[in-house]
Amino acid sequence: MIQRSLLLALLFVLLFGIPATAQPLSVDAKAGLSFFSGGGGSSTGFLLGGALDIPMQENLFIRPEFNLTTHGGTPIEIAAILKYNLPTSPLSSPVYVDGGLGLWFDAGGSALGLDFGCGTLLSPSESGIQIPVEIRLGPIFESGTTVFQIACTSGIRFSLPN
């Protein structure tokens, strides 16, 4: 019931809560490593995913994500993330922080997770393509146990025309 309510809330925000901004909509594909620990053991898996950065305000984005991992049971995450680009950064590339909720589905059922992370966007050229580099971590609350995940990813990002 809670999972269905979270999905409906995300859908409502995506459809009705998006103000017009000058920032472009961005889509990215990512790959990396995922580490699970807890619940009676630990494992390392490969992560493949995709996301959409939907501008809400200057430097603030809603980020729906879909992630697939190769851990036992092949967990799939559908996440609703808030992402904030830090206005000043000591690096030459923009730095961001993000966090939100993830719904996990695998052979054993479903679970609720919390995602917290940070990253940067590398721009190798003036082509409009960016390379996100990110680390994300957080607990996944399964029935009767908690698993902790750390994911290190990179990929490719494209800005869509307004």
CATH code, 104: 2.40.160.20
What's the total number of domains in the chain?
Answer: 1
Give ∠ CA 23-28-32 in degrees, rounded to 5.
Answer: 140
Handedness of CA 142, 134, 97, 52 (dihedral sign): negative
Q: Would you say residue 69 lies in a domain?
A: yes
Contact status, residue 135 vs residue 27, Cβ threshold 8 Å = no
pLDDT tens-digit readout, 30-44: 999 999 998 778 999
Q: Higher pLDDT residue, 51 or 73?
A: 51
Q: Is 11 domain-assigned?
A: no
Answer whether residue 118 is part of any domain: no
pLDDT for 101-137, tens place per residue?
A: 999 998 878 999 999 999 998 887 776 688 999 999 9
Can you give the pTM of this predicted structure? 0.81
